[in-house]
Chain A
Amino acid sequence: MHADRSAADHERANRRIDMTGGLLDERSEHLLRDLAPQVLGAVVRKFRDFAAAEDAVQEALIAATTQWSRDGLPDNPRAWLIHVASRRMADHIRGEVARRRREHTAAEEAERLALPVDAGAETGDDDTLVLLFMCCHPALSRASAIALTLRAVGGLTTAAIANAFLVPEATMAQRISRAKQSIKDSGIPFQLPTTEDRAQRLRAVLHVLYLIFNEGYASSTGPQLRRADLSDEAIRLTRIVYERQPENTEVAGLLALMVLTDARRAARTGPNGELIPLAQQNRRLWDRQQITEGTALLSTVLPKGSVGPYQLQAAIAAVHDEAASAEDTDWPQILALYEFLKRMSDNPMILLNHAVAAAMVHGPGKGLELLSALDSDARLSERHRLEAVRAHLLEMAGDREAAITHYRIAASRATSVPERNYLVLQAARLSEILSADEANS
């Protein structure tokens, strides 16, 4: 038990995003990244130009990395960062003014520069939320929103984000500047959305955070280990939203979903990055602390009655996490939750998982029947999933030959190496059983 825990801890320690090239200790780096959106908020309030302010803060963060590691933390790190970023902004504006050579603008800017630096902490919290709403605005492409959120709110460098998404730094820089251009073009104001917009805009924020989490979670193995910290970052940012909107049940639901899913991270792949399905995972590797946190979150929000898709998915994750073994899983409960979820969203992946739950409760025949309805669903972009589930249910039904065929079809359509290898191995495993049976008969 103890050895398992320390393995999980070790894995966790190894997957921090190395944004400072190891220059800063963990505490200073956390401080820097917590301060990043607050500093940006203050600089945007002062200078109004979001795009330039965001660049200036990024430069200040990079300067802090070098100077703080050399001279130690300043007395007031927040004021230090605002001061450095403001100086960069002033340089930027002077450059702009010189370029335009327009007298009245120079006077106007000089006046603005004379304003005292707003170093008050009272607006810091709200600014982080305002920034999140801005960076996750539905007008931005998903890729742009993700990149900008990680930089402007997460305080990550462009290089670290590019590294996490395995694209060149220049490409990531372009995504960020496109995002900023979209914000400029659509005239999104730097303030909290109006009450009538609030719910829809919050959904967009949660969706971006969910995508960042998934990107890290799905890629947390083998050569792409470094990408795993994206899910830590998504959890950190969701926690920030939760602290500011504790009454919103879907925010709590998303946070619960993330920690309950993340709890299984150490167990979901083998030493060579091979996929281990839920039923075969070593449950002692699951992170009890995260499971406790997730279920506690859920038990505070579920009774409030406004149940949304994130809470339901979290509840499903909790049922899995609380089962002592795969056999102990409360499938009727999971099926009931998927029935609810189906009514809220007709996402084909939910329909697919619903079919699995139905098979576990009512037998594989029922599951296969539900799958046939998905055959013609053009939205199911990942067709290999459908075939993988079909193969699994055919195996449950005892039809090994058909199961082999469908595992192989699924393998031919898979777009991920670990998934393809897993599917090929399933087919090989069943083939061996079949030939052993033939030899014995």
Chain B
Amino acid sequence: MGAKEMKYILLMTGTRAGVDGYRAWSKNDVNAHFAFLNRFNKELSESGEFVANEGLAAPEQARIVKAGKDGVPVTDGVFPEAKEFLLGYWIVDVESPGRAYEIAGRLSAGPGPGGVPTCMPIEVRQIMSGRTDELT
């Protein structure tokens, strides 16, 4: 009994238009955004909640690999109709789901062009544990 730490993954997804738009950000806007991300990661580390953070290479480089019926894999580019891409993720170890949502909210409020929050959607998913608590 008693709450335990829980790990959550915060998935940052963006649209094609968003990715293209970002590449046209001004130097100041880009710098401000990176300064924000640095601060954000530092704070997560200081609060003892940081587990991992990675950004993904541009979606143009993505390939979809899928086994064909004959078992031979087929490699393809990302389908043009795919509207959303995973851009990066954070893993945090927190004491409540509420805390994970709070962290995601801060991320989404990060500065975009002109310092206006990007309001990027952050998908918050709990990571399954390997725990085997007693089942009665």
B48 in contact with A174 (CB, 8 Å):
yes
Complex Cα distance A420/B132, Å? 10
**Residue B6 lies at the interface, judged by CB distance under 8 Å to chain A:** yes
Which residues in B have their C-beta under 8 angstroms from that of A339? none
Which residues in A have their C-beta under 8 angstroms from that of B2? 142, 207, 210-211, 214
A208 nearest CB across to chain B (Å): 10
B4 in contact with A215 (CB, 8 Å):
yes
**Residue B102 lies at the interface, judged by CB distance under 8 Å to chain A:** no
Q: Would you list which residues of chain A between 384 and 400 have a CB under 8 Å from chain B? A: 385, 388-389
A347 in contact with B132 (CB, 8 Å):
no
**Residue A165 lies at the interface, judged by CB distance under 8 Å to chain B:** yes
Number of A-B residue pairs at CB separation under 8 A: 102
Interface bin, chain B: 20 to 34
A143-B5, A143-B95, A207-B2 as given contacts; A419 in contact with B132, CB under 8 Å: yes
A171 in contact with B135 (CB, 8 Å):
no
Q: Which of B3, B46, B48, B51 has the most CB of A within 10 A?
A: B48
B48 in contact with A172 (CB, 8 Å):
yes
Complex Cα distance A165/B48, Å? 12
A210-B2, A275-B135, A353-B136 as given contacts; A175 in contact with B130, CB under 8 Å: no
**Residue A117 lies at the interface, judged by CB distance under 8 Å to chain B:** no
B48 in contact with A418 (CB, 8 Å):
no
Q: Which of B2, B49, B130 has the most CB of A within 10 A?
A: B130
Choose from B45, B48, B130 the contact partner of A417 (Cβ within 8 Å): B130
B6 in contact with A415 (CB, 8 Å):
yes
**Residue B76 lies at the interface, judged by CB distance under 8 Å to chain A:** no
- What are the interface flags for B99-131 relative to A under an 8 Å C-beta threshold, 1 for contact and 0 otherwise? 000000000000000000000000000101111
B4 in contact with A211 (CB, 8 Å):
yes
B38 nearest CB across to chain A (Å): 15
B1 in contact with A349 (CB, 8 Å):
yes
Which residues in A have their C-beta under 8 angstroms from that of B134? 261, 268, 278
A388 in contact with B93 (CB, 8 Å):
no
B95 in contact with A219 (CB, 8 Å):
no
**Residue A224 lies at the interface, judged by CB distance under 8 Å to chain B:** yes
- What are the interface flags for A343-360 relative to B under an 8 Å C-beta threshold, 1 for contact and 0 otherwise? 000010110110010000
A56 nearest CB across to chain B (Å): 22
- What are the interface flags for A31-43 relative to B under an 8 Å C-beta threshold, 1 for contact and 0 otherwise? 0000000000000
A273-B130, A347-B1 as given contacts; A171 in contact with B95, CB under 8 Å: no
**Residue A221 lies at the interface, judged by CB distance under 8 Å to chain B:** yes
Q: Would you list which residues of chain A between 206 and 248 have a CB under 8 Å from chain B? A: 207, 210-211, 214-215, 218-224
Which residues in A have their C-beta under 8 angstroms from that of B45? 170-171, 174
Choose from A172, A178, A419 the contact partner of B131 (Cβ within 8 Å): A419
Which residues in B have their C-beta under 8 angstroms from that of A107? none
Choose from A142, A168, A269, A356 the contact partner of B95 (Cβ within 8 Å): A142
B93 in contact with A167 (CB, 8 Å):
yes
A347-B1, A349-B1 as given contacts; A417 in contact with B128, CB under 8 Å: yes
B126 in contact with A224 (CB, 8 Å):
no
Q: Would you list which residues of chain B between 26 and 55 have a CB under 8 Å from chain A? A: 45-52
Complex Cα distance A278/B52, Å? 36
**Residue B133 lies at the interface, judged by CB distance under 8 Å to chain A:** yes
Which residues in B have their C-beta under 8 angstroms from that of A218? 131-133
**Residue A277 lies at the interface, judged by CB distance under 8 Å to chain B:** yes
Complex Cα distance A223/B128, Å? 13
- In the complex, the chain A residue whose C-beta lies closest to that of B4 is A215
- What are the interface flags for B42-71 relative to A under an 8 Å C-beta threshold, 1 for contact and 0 otherwise? 000111111110000000000000000000
B128 nearest CB across to chain A (Å): 5
Complex Cα distance A168/B133, Å? 24
A416 in contact with B46 (CB, 8 Å):
no
Which residues in A have their C-beta under 8 angstroms from that of B7? 166
Q: Would you list which residues of chain A between 73 and 98 have a CB under 8 Å from chain B? A: none
**Residue A149 lies at the interface, judged by CB distance under 8 Å to chain B:** no
- In the complex, the chain B residue whose C-beta lies closest to that of A224 is B130
Choose from B51, B126, B130 the contact partner of A221 (Cβ within 8 Å): B130
Q: Which 10 A-B pairs have the closest CB atoms?
A: A175-B48, A218-B131, A174-B48, A416-B131, A418-B132, A416-B129, A224-B130, A218-B133, A417-B128, A356-B136
Residues of A within 8 A of B (CB): 141-144, 147, 165-168, 170-172, 174-175, 178, 207, 210-211, 214-215, 218-224, 261, 268-269, 273, 275, 277-278, 347, 349-350, 352-353, 356, 381, 385, 388-389, 414-420, 422
Listed A/B pairs (20) with beta-carbon separation below 8 Å: A141-B95, A143-B48, A144-B48, A165-B93, A167-B50, A171-B48, A171-B93, A174-B46, A178-B48, A207-B2, A214-B4, A218-B132, A218-B133, A223-B130, A268-B134, A278-B136, A416-B128, A416-B129, A416-B133, A419-B133
Further 11 A-B residue pairs, CB within 8 A, beyond A347-B1, A381-B3, A416-B130: A142-B3, A178-B48, A268-B134, A277-B135, A277-B136, A352-B136, A415-B128, A416-B129, A417-B128, A418-B131, A419-B132
